[in-house]
Amino acid sequence: MKPASRTALAFGVSGQDGAYLAKLLIDQGYEVHGTSRDADGSSFSGLRALGILDQVRLHSATLSEFRSVAQTVQNVRPSEIFNLAAQSSVGLSFQQPVETIDSIMHGTINILEAIRFLGLETRFYSASSSECFGNTEVPANERTPFHPRSPYAVGKAASFWAVANYREAYDLFACSGLLFNHESPLRPTRYVTQKIIQGAADIAERRTDTLTLGALDLTRDWGWAPDYVDAMARMLKQDTPEDFVIATGVAYKLQDFVDTAFRCFGLDWTKHVESDSAFMRPSDISRSVGDPSKAKRLLGWAATTKMPDLVDKLVEAELIRRSLQIR
Ligand code: NDP
């Protein structure tokens, strides 16, 4: 069955990446459809913040039910599908391993199976993760072996191989993006980057004096979310489906992120930040950094924003939000 041309369906459009991806695709002239588990109940705050809520056609879909996924795909007949929906917090995945792995694996398999079952020539992007690699002593590339260290990563690794298998066995145009951490003002505060920015802003406003975090010596490769959705869109415009590592290629310690953020507010982080083992994970990744050279070579993609500039953007957005009293 031929899909409708330039029609995209994003599962999980209510999240950070869903909002930026929808904006990018609308700007590229696509008809954009998106799902939430409860499209009537979701606030779609990201789409609202980007001013595109009325330009996205919204659907409710249950990723764990094949019938729900297949019906949505059949109704929309998209030329491109992006699966962004999942329980996406690594920390929470240790408390909810079954829900997390289930949300990632079943969602991916059900979409792959719907495309195959309906005989659609739809291209499929699956949101995999740098977490699949575990610790990366040297920057990870597309040939680096996986060593998942959380239930979240186990689910992402399994769905990565499901995508590869459907590509090889059924000739689907399906690819996975192994994306390293990417941030934006649309991230909720349960993620450490927003927790740091908002914590520093609260201390600067004297609402509190202390910010409590977990391990501070972790090293991460942080990028800017709008760059990363651009990479997703480029992957589906290739002649052949392939998997890509998407990263800035530069790693910083969490402590450096904290220092940069606190300096933006004129604060010395050492006077305000404490580390509590209660916030540490049962098994964490100490160093995570990616090698994006394949993406540069084949997609013409490179990160525009690395850590210090990323912090500037997040702080600027937080200051605007506070000046408008949107909290
Ligand atoms: P978000 O958490 O912002 O959005 C994920 C979406 O998934 C939500 O909008 C939510 O929609 C849906 N969702 C949440 N829980 C479940 C569940 N149990 N079952 C089905 N759907 C669920 O994530 P991001 O936008 O940041 O990330 C998009 C994808 O990319 C995710 O799969 C994430 O794991 C992956 N990823 C993200 C990275 C990052 O740094 N941001 C890095 C690497 C990978 P609703 O509640 O409306 O149904």
**Three state DSSP letters for the chain:** CCCCCCEEEEECCCCHHHHHHHHHHHHCCCEEEEEECCCCCCCCHHHHHCCCHHHEEEEECCCCCHHHHHHHHHHHCCCEEEECCCCCCHHHHHHCHHHHHHHHHHHHHHHHHHHHHHCCCCEEEEEEEHHHHCCCCCCECCCCCCCCCCHHHHHHHHHHHHHHHHHHHHCCCEEEEEECCEECCCCCCCCHHHHHHHHHHHHHCCCCCCEEECCCCCEECCEEHHHHHHHHHHHCCCCCCCCEEECCCCCEEHHHHHHHHHHHCCCCHHHCEEECHHHCCCCCCCECCECCHHHHHHHCCCCCCCHHHHHHHHHHHHHHHHHCCCC
Query: Ligand 1: distance of its center to the CA of 85 in Å?
Result: 5
The ligand 1 atom nearest the CA atom of 182: 40
CA 93 to chain centre: 15
CATH number of 7-182+224-246: 3.40.50.720
Minimal CA–CA distance to 282: which of 152, 159, 150? Answer: 150
Query: Ligand 1: distance of its center to the CA of 48 in Å?
Result: 17
Count of C-beta atoms within a 10 Å radius of residue 304: 13
Q: Please tell me the predicted confidence (pLDDT) of residue 299.
A: 98
Which amino acid residue places its CA nearest to atom 31 of ligand 1? 84
**CB of 84 closer than 8 Å to CB of 24:** no
Q: Please tell me the predicted confidence (pLDDT) of residue 258.
A: 98
Task: Name the class of domain 188-221+250-283+307-326.
Answer: alpha beta
Which amino acid residue places its CA nearest to atom 42 of ligand 1? 181
Q: Note down pLDDT in tens along the chain; length 327 residues.
A: 778 789 999 999 999 999 999 999 999 999 999 999 999 999 999 999 999 999 999 999 999 999 999 999 999 999 999 999 999 999 999 999 999 999 999 999 999 999 999 999 999 999 999 999 999 999 999 999 999 999 999 999 999 999 999 999 999 999 999 999 999 999 998 899 999 999 999 999 999 999 999 999 999 999 999 999 999 999 999 999 999 999 999 999 999 999 999 999 999 999 999 999 888 888 889 999 999 999 999 999 999 999 999 999 999 999 999 998 755
Name all residues whose Cβ lies below 6 A of ligand 1: 12, 14-18, 36-37, 42, 63, 84-88, 99, 103, 107, 127, 129, 179, 181-182
Q: Please tell me the predicted confidence (pLDDT) of residue 325.
A: 77
**Separation in Å, CA 2 to CA 5, 34, 113, 282:** 9, 20, 17, 47
Q: Give the residue numbers marked as catalytic.
A: 129, 131, 152
Backbone Cα Rg of the chain:
19
Q: Please tell me the predicted confidence (pLDDT) of residue 282.
A: 84
The ligand 1 atom nearest the CA atom of 46: 3
Q: Please tell me the predicted confidence (pLDDT) of residue 37.
A: 97
Residues of the chain with CATH 3.90.25.10: 188-221+250-283+307-326
Residues of the chain with CATH 3.40.50.720: 7-182+224-246
Token code pair at residue 186: 């649309």
Q: Please tell me the predicted confidence (pLDDT) of residue 39.
A: 97
